[in-house]
């Protein structure tokens, strides 16, 4: 079945507020046309992020009651260890309270003398943690991965030629480790092929460079491999996952994605000396090595979530739900990035609002329209997030793409709610001439999109 139904039934419901157009109008004005300033209570369908927003299963909630909050050696730690060891294969496992701490702990040890870290595309926190630890983060995704509509099964692949050139240019001594992000979040959640993981691993290892995987959406990536790559159709998701990580020396993980929990993460690796020095810092900033910033019940929920996420029926529904939303919008003629990735659909605001100048923040204007029309919250990834003022000329520099990302939380919304989202967008698209541009009235010096206030022009 191409778009299978939800493979779960609903035991607990959380009411969501339906607001009137007038109420939403007042909310968005009070928020300075910035959806980060809107309370979650005033949102009907929240597609701000898929991170930490998953619904846990009855099995995970039951596990929470089995939480053992002993300071050292809690039984949930042993369960967590066994599951991570089995799935990812690495013997050294270090729990953290979320992915970015795993990154900081890894890079503060491996970048003591600075250095370059290649990746397909670094996620924002990965880049920030590399740069703050004195390193340089470089993106080497294949060129197809930058094209918004080209059809390629693995647009998240890291370009082996670019990697070889980089090693030649900077020298192995300046590349303390290489990474691949699966799926490629900053590149639209596009998958990476097994063949690519194998090839990148070979290049790095031939040069004596350790290879780490940013594993946040490892199960979604494995599902794409099963669907799209020859020789994997008959393999189980667990087998595919185990093979992916067999090529790496370690991984960093945010369990807020494919861990199917609301908080958590870890580092897993082979190198016991590196693990020892990471643990010393862990004790200083996160906690004892058998809990690392998490309570026993959190470790239990992650252990159970990591097993559940490997269920093929779940993944079929999950990837199918994202794909179905993309398909509905595409059929309605709404411009989106194609093909869709694993966790989000991206509206292309430059094609949606071709008349609007980039100086009027078309993606933000579209995000505001989504809220006004249907109480839907997406996130602008465009001039507001990435634009900056040239310090010399005082001119604004804009990014190439103006996108609104609609990230789909895991197991939270039904397909009927996704239909509603498509209908709202269709309505806006048909009335797109009515959408007004925005101008900034107040902004911070860095990361302005979080706090900026705007006004309609």
Ligand X SMILES: *Cc1c(COP(=O)(O)O)cnc(C)c1O
Would you tell me which residues interact with ligand X (CB under 6 A)? 51, 98-100, 123, 125-126, 181, 185, 214, 216, 254, 256-257, 265
In whole angstroms, how close is the CB of 97 to ligand X at the nearest point?
8
Residue nearest to ligand X (CB): 99
Given the complex with ligand X, which of 181 and 290 has the nearer CB atom? Answer: 181
- 218 and 241 in contact (C-beta within 8 Å)? yes
Given the complex with ligand X, which of 159 and 214 has the nearer CB atom? Answer: 214
Given the complex with ligand X, which of 266 and 413 has the nearer CB atom? Answer: 266
Q: Look at strands 115-119 and 396-397 and give their pairing.
A: unpaired
Q: Whose CA is closest to 199, among 138, 228, 158, 227?
A: 158
Given the complex with ligand X, which of 98 and 364 has the nearer CB atom? Answer: 98
- 222 and 240 in contact (C-beta within 8 Å)? yes
In whole angstroms, how close is the CB of 231 to ligand X at the nearest point?
26
In whole angstroms, how close is the CB of 214 to ligand X at the nearest point?
5
- 253 and 216 in contact (C-beta within 8 Å)? yes
Q: Could you identify the residue written with the tokens 């600075």?
A: 114
User: Which residues, at least 6 apart from 181, have a Cβ–Cβ distance to it below 8 Å?
Assistant: 119, 120, 121, 122, 123, 126, 156, 192, 213, 214, 216
Given the complex with ligand X, which of 90 and 352 has the nearer CB atom? Answer: 90
Given the complex with ligand X, which of 167 and 337 has the nearer CB atom? Answer: 337
In whole angstroms, how close is the CB of 380 to ligand X at the nearest point?
18
Distance of alpha carbon 131 from alpha carbon 42, whole angstroms:
37
| 3-state DSSP assignment of residue 437 | coil
Q: Whose CA is closest to 23, among 42, 41, 39, 40?
A: 42
In whole angstroms, how close is the CB of 121 to ligand X at the nearest point?
9
Alpha carbon separation from 281 to 93, 292, 294, 413 (Å, rounded): 14, 10, 16, 39
Given the complex with ligand X, which of 253 and 356 has the nearer CB atom? Answer: 253
User: Which residues, at least 6 apart from 188, have a Cβ–Cβ distance to it below 8 Å?
Assistant: 155, 337, 340, 341, 344, 346
Given the complex with ligand X, which of 187 and 387 has the nearer CB atom? Answer: 187
* Tokens matching residue 278: 């990471």
In whole angstroms, how close is the CB of 22 to ligand X at the nearest point?
35
Given the complex with ligand X, which of 53 and 98 has the nearer CB atom? Answer: 98
Q: Residue 183: is the preceding peptide bond cis (ω within 30°)?
A: yes
Distance of alpha carbon 432 from alpha carbon 89, whole angstroms:
51
Distance of alpha carbon 378 from alpha carbon 266, whole angstroms:
28
In whole angstroms, how close is the CB of 83 to ligand X at the nearest point?
18
Given the complex with ligand X, which of 126 and 360 has the nearer CB atom? Answer: 126
- 21 and 381 in contact (C-beta within 8 Å)? no
In whole angstroms, how close is the CB of 98 to ligand X at the nearest point?
3
- 347 and 404 in contact (C-beta within 8 Å)? yes
Task: Please give the sequence-ordered ranges of beta strands (E in DSSP) within 277-392, or none if there are none.
Answer: 344-348, 376-377, 379-381, 388-389
């Amino acid at each position: 079945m191409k778009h299978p139904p939800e493979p779960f039934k609903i035991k607990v419901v959380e009411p969501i507020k339906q607001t009137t157009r007038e109420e939403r109008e007042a909310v968005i004005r009070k928020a300075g046309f910035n959806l980060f300033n809107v309370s979650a209570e005033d949102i009907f369908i929240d597609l701000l992020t898929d991170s930490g927003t998953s619904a846990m299963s009855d099995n995970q909630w039951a596990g929470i009651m089995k939480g053992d909050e002993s300071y050292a050696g809690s039984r949930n730690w042993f369960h967590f260890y066994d599951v991570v060891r089995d799935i990812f294969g690495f013997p050294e496992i270090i729990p953290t309270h979320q992915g970015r701490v795993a990154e900081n702990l890894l890079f503060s040890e491996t970048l003591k003398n600075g250095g370059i870290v290649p990746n397909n595309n670094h996620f924002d926190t990965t880049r920030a943690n590399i740069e703050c630890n004195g390193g340089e983060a470089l993106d080497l995704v294949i060129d197809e991965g930058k094209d918004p509509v080209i059809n390629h099964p693995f647009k998240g692949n890291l370009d082996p030629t670019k990697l070889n050139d980089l090693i030649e240019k900077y020298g192995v001594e300046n590349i303390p480790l290489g990474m691949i992000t699966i799926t490629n979040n900053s590149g639209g959640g596009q998958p990476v092929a097994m063949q690519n993981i194998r090839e990148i691993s070979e290049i790095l290892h031939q040069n004596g460079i350790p290879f780490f995987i940013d594993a946040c959406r490892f199960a979604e990536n494995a599902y794409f491999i099963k669907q799209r790559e020859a020789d994997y159709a008959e393999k189980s998701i667990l087998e595919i996952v185990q093979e992916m990580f067999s090529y790496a020396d370690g991984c960093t993980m945010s369990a807020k994605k494919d861990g199917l929990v609301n908080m958590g993460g870890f580092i897993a690796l082979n190198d016991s000396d590196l693990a020892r020095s990471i643990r010393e810092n862990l004790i200083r900033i996160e906690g004892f090595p058998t809990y690392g910033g998490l309570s026993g019940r959190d470790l239990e929920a992650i252990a159970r979530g990591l097993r559940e996420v490997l269920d093929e029926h779940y993944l079929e529904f999950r990837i199918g739900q994202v794909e179905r939303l993309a398909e509905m919008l595409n059929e309605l003629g709404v411009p989106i990035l194609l093909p869709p990735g694993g966790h989000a659909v991206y509206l292309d605001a430059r094609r949606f609002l071709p008349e609007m100048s980039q100086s009027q923040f078309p993606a933000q204007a579209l995000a505001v329209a989504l809220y006004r029309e249907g109480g839907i919250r997406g996130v602008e990834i465009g001039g507001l997030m990435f634009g900056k003022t040239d310090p010399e000329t005082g001119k604004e520099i804009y990014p190439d793409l103006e996108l609104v990302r609609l990230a789909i939380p895991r197991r939270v919304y039904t397909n009927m709610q996704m239909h509603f989202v498509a209908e709202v967008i269709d309505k806006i698209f048909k009335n797109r001439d009515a959408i007004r541009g925005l101008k900034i009235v107040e902004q911070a010096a860095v990361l302005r999109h979080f706090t900026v206030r705007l006004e309609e022009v």
